[in-house]
Structure 1
Amino acid sequence: MSQSSPQPNFDIPLGGRYEIISQLGAGGFGQTFLVQDLHLPGHPRCVVKKLLPQKNDTENLEMARRLFDTEAKVLYKLGSHDQIPRLLAHFEQHQEFYLAQEFVEGAPLSKELLEGQPWQQEQVLTLLQDILQILAFVHQQQVIHRDIKPANLIRRRKDDRIVLIDFGAVKQVSTQCVNSDTELTDMTISIGTQGFIPNEQLAGKPRYSSDVYAVGIIGIWALTGIHPKHLKDDPRTGEINWRDRATFASRELIDVLEQMVRYDFRDRYPTAIEALGALRSLPSDMIKSLPPPSPMPQPVLEVIHAERPYLPSTPDLIEVEPELEPTSLWLHNDSTTHTLTIAHATDSIAPTQPMMNGNGSAVQTVAAKVPQKRRFPIWRGLAVLAMGTGAAAAAIFALEPAGLRRAKEQPLNPVQTMASSLIGLFPEQEAIELMRNGNQLREAGQYQDALTAYDKALELRSDLAEAYWGRCSILNALEQPNEALVACNDALAIDPQYAEAIVGKGKALEQQRRYIEALRLYEYATAVNPQLADAWIAQGMALQTLERSAEALTALERGIGLNRESAEAWSARASALWNLRRYNEAIASLDKALQLDPNEPNARALRQKAREDLGR
């Protein structure tokens, strides 16, 4: 199929940057390596995937290069979701194409789905919600995954959440070629795995609902313990016969899964957004144990000009993978083999039908940067980012890796971080990376450097609510409430329901002794995001300042229930208990506060008072 790939020299870093530790996998689309990034402090690990064009003549290489750049942009956008590996870099070396992505430790879902071992209904519901929340974000970006299967769903070790990997679109880079006789493009469009792809995808016309079908098949497998290859179709209708195998499942869940896997794509939920909405609309006694829905990440905004590649009407190769462990990136696996079939292909990465909103009407795509809401529930009908395919200038994305989450464990060098890691970025991407650097520096207490990073990010993109909030947080810490108010108001002008910015504004008002106004903001923040511990803690502390100790205690205990590591919260709780004459509980709370932070000033003062007044 594709040209043979020589083994790389493990002694020479890929792209002059990524030192190979080991090979994770190899297959028809390329090879995958575990590497360490020599350009970043601590040499964090990541994964590099090498993609090989089918032919290496000039025409095919140029087409592969354009396609590679476009798909890299798509992966960069998708990586803003916490459950999709972040794209760190993409580059070309010796006419071979490389993607560097976040390294995710975990095991594929295929290790959990075992023949003859059905899951409990509650487990199935949790799994479906986790997958559909990720996929709803993907569909918002007008991207079809095209290879949803258990091997491409990784159970992340650190938190047991599902991570979606191995987007099928990137495999086009390895399989497209130009027909030397007709000078037309032969492009592999239908990519997937037998048992998980519906008929329209086999015909080379994938749709959003093709991904929904695959998720439904996984749900049926989990619910029944029966591998998809053992499920039979009704010869009259083409529908899958499985209801009688789901002995212990509720009728309502069965109905949702049946609509997800309908033979005709027009009878399925059109996107993951509607499928997730149906799941969340199940009877309350069924979904009460589900974890709260994850907030939608702020999308990466970037204009990509809609410039579709030529797609022929002649038959194209369709790559159908048998069920295998991941071709990528995270776990060791054996070499893969592929089966070729023939069909007509007319679609590229974006589907031909318009994206539908929650009301079933078409959403017009946009082709310009616009401020986006930061958070909102994903099943309520959402705005869509434009994501046309197109050719982009080749560039090396020297993006900071997912080691951002591990930043506290590594020494920070602001000059190195902000100078060396941003070379070659587009302005929109550079703004995002500067903001992330600012977040790192703020968390490390390097406030002036953080403010510089935020200011530079906002010069490039003025719609970054998180950067304004970062400024607000720092200015509050520096006891500059007037400037903090301006920054938080800027954040709220972009996203009026940005709970962290609402709390930040409240803290600035408190410094101005405007306690009642601050309290109202904290109450609003807890209504917007009931899971934000800082909002409850700030509300409790404001109430305690106003000597409303009983109410303060209630709010503080909500906050401590969400974050037990806040010495400030334990100290304020102790003050409230002391005022309520619950001295034993107050002393225990003080001891906890001082255990977390021996220098917490209010806790130290009250603890001394307890010794003087109570003798203990």
Structure 2
Amino acid sequence: MHIDSLDGRYRIIKILNDREKAKTYLVEDANLSDSQFIVKQLRSASNNSQTLTILGRLFASKAATLKKLGQEHNQIQKLIAYFEENEEFYIVQEFIPGNPLTDEIIQGQPLRERQVISLLSEILEILVILHSYGVIHRHIKPANIIRRESDKKLVLVDFSTVSEDITNPVDNLEYMPIEQVNGNVKYNSDVYALGIIAIAALLGLSGNEISNLQNQKNRLTGEIVWRNKNITVNSKLAKVINKMVRFDYRKRYQYATEVLDDLKKIANVDDDRQKQNYKKLLLVLTGIACCIALGIGTWQLRLLKPVNDAQQKLYQEGVNKYDVGNYEGAIEDFNQVIQSDPKNAMAYNRRGDAYYRLGDYEQAKADSSQAILLNPQDANAYFDRGFAFSELGKYKEAIADYTQAIKLNSQDAYAYYGRGLARTQLKDNKGAIGDFSKAIALKPQYPEAYLQRGILRRRLRQRREAIQDFDTIIKINPSDAKAYYQRGLTQSLNQQKYAALKDYTDAININPKYIEAYLNRGDAYSDLGNKVEATEDYNTILQIDPKFIAAYIHRAIHRFSFGDYKGAIEDYTTALKLNPNDIVAYNNRGNAYLELGNKKAANQDYSRAIAINANNALAYYNRGVIRIKQKNKQGAIADFKKAAKLFQQQGEKDSYQDAKREIAILENNSTPTKVTRLKSGKTEKN
């Protein structure tokens, strides 16, 4: 063991965990009395020196962030020290006297709703702080939540964010969402894990039973079906938990703050139920419209007629199934309601939502249309049909529906946002910006609207305004990696390369597997002549995803820039194995072959690029140069003329002039010498 090597001060009391890639010890400090700590010893699966260098930087960066976090928040386990030795990494952590949450979540002994809400709120408040520093816990489970003995507060321990890149652990699957299993961890991956804990607490489930619960997911949707007849759970709390554990992270709560806001609304369950019963009585007596929450929109007023108890019960069962992600079961119930009452607009609307969740957009559109026919004043039905039309690529029809929804409910920020997205698809930039701006005016804390408006503004060269939008998102949520990334792209266009580097780095610190951020940071380093740093970023991408073609192409461009033509050819060849129709790879590999004097191979690559896309101006231009070297003057003139025509059509003025100049040289019997090479472009990622 090498654990005593830190000034010889730590003595092992006992081994807490002994795994191949990570060992955990309880130790005492020989220099301090009554001081105990947790030490983790991490071993990388790779012995490659370059890989270990990259891991060392990641390890130090993340450990430093955690150390700062523990100093500033007393419900986060303190990181005392971290160091490397003999290709192994060590972290020394605070030992928390107390009991893990596993002692409170006991098999067959469900916690009360108030206890669960309190537990959720306390951990969520810690997550808000954690995520604001760009840290994702990644390992939330009852054993890693300690009820501190001294003040009975909950403390979050055992952060795997430091060890993940080194050991690549794949455990804790019963609390882990699918995107994390696939290596695409998000902030709301922590929210998912906490939602599973809430389910275990409400139902009184052990760890093994949670694993069984994961096997009881809806076959088509992947949603967990957890509510049972033996335990009654407040529908509002159940709705919050359902949204915490959605299979698709995009449909889940995005931030811990959102969950906290909804939990605060469940202050008094009994009062809520009394109010609901009172409202139901009013609806039956007066026949006025009923409003219920659905998805990201709101149900507006719709006329109801008296229904019998059996039909109402069946409808409610469908709603309950929908809420837990059992969309097929919900459709079956709504089918029966519609059969007995063909004019039930709400049943059509709800069934349409279920079809939408299952990806059947045609049927979702049909049901929304029927709901509109039965109740033309149903703004939500227009809103839902607008989303279905958008998914079907019918953006004009979607815009018409969003517009009608806005006429019926002018305060619906989501309808403006949806219409803005559809207008963007139709290149109605002015209208789209107007819609995003209106959505923001109605809902000032609307990150998605700021993001889309910022991206659109950048495309319209309104870069200062775009940066303002991304700045606003970061103020709302300092842990929004996409905002940093998009701001970095904008800074890069403004030639603010160092500012762009910082933004890409912040995005990566928040999301260590943000491939696009690594790619663009690598390009920025390459432009600045930072050879090693650029190579590290491209290599890191390929560690995350060995089939990411753009990383091979960008690394090849980088290698070409400092004369490593053989290395560039190797990368382009790998890219072409992954995609045999990649024009950029053929064109650029041709340039590399040309630099090595292999005119035949270069000519073949340019010709392949042209065969794939007959409008590839650069390939014609470069083949023209090769043909001159092969003394094929007429063929060269033909290629340059074709290139000039295409450059002119594409608005490439400089390249057009280059081609015209080469034609003039040839017609005057001179020899052209210039080769145009495809440059490293910065690709926008929405």
> Shorter-normalised TM-score: what interval?
0.3 to 0.5
- Structure with greater strand percent: 1
Question: Which one has more relative contact order, counting CA pairs under 8 Å at least 6 apart?
Answer: 1
TM-score by length of 1: 0.43
TM-score by length of 2: 0.39
- Structure with greater helix percent: 2
